[in-house]
């Protein structure tokens, strides 16, 4: 395990402990950059959505622990936020929880000459992720084969279409 992997693992442990104590779910932890430009990102969620106050509370507690443990080699920026509409799916239970939602999937290796897939998440089947692929067919993939999986928000056509009066003004 590399030093970065150990740091991420430790940050995840700290953030998980703090989040659980506040009744919040830790979604993911990312560390980007090196040295004084390092950015630590923590993503949180809870039923009904995360608030600025939740992010502030977790940020204050995690930041204090990171500083006390002197875990970071240099100055860093700590960002705490919700996972957003394009939430990353990380844990196996995420694939069950978001069954029925649209999904973007990137595999670690090609499957029939393709690594990127979009479709409707069907959930887990005997530990494998099932996705109904756009254009037909069902993809069954082990979680370890997934490099990245994100929800793909479905915006109503009415929200993306301009009203007739606005179209006329733009001409």
Enumerate the domain spans of the chain: 3-81, 92-151
Residue 44: phi, psi to the nearest 5? -125, 160
Predicted local distance difference test score (pLDDT) of residue 167 = 46
Domain 3-81: give its CATH superfamily.
RimP-like superfamily, N-terminal (3.30.300.70)
On whether the pTM is more than 0.95, the answer is no
Long-range contacts of 48-56 (CB under 8 A, 24+ apart): 49/82, 50/24, 50/81, 50/82, 54/22, 54/24, 55/80, 55/81, 55/82, 56/80
Asked whether residue 170 carries a pLDDT value surpassing 80, the answer given is: no
Question: Residues 5-60: pLDDT tens digits?
Answer: 899 999 999 999 999 999 999 999 999 988 888 999 999 999 899 999 999 999 99
What's the CATH fold of domain 92-151?
Answer: SH3 type barrels. (2.30.30)
């Amino acid at each position: 395990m590399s030093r970065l992997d150990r740091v991420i693992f430790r940050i995840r442990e700290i953030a998980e402990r703090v989040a659980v104590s506040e009744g919040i779910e830790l979604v993911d932890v990312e560390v980007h950059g090196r040295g004084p430009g390092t950015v630590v990102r923590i993503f949180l969620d809870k039923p009904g959505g995360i608030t600025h106050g939740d992010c502030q509370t977790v940020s204050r507690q995690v930041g204090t622990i990171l500083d006390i443990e002197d875990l970071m080699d240099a100055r860093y920026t700590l960002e705490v936020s919700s996972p957003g509409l394009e939430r990353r799916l990380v844990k196996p239970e995420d694939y069950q929880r978001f069954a029925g939602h649209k999904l973007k999937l990137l595999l670690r290796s090609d499957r029939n000459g393709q690594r990127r897939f979009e479709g409707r998440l069907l959930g887990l089947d005997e530990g494998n992720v099932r996705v109904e692929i756009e254009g037909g067919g069902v993809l069954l993939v082990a979680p370890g084969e997934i490099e990245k999986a994100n929800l793909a928000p479905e915006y109503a056509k009415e929200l993306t279409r301009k009203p007739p009066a606005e179209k006329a003004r733009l001409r």
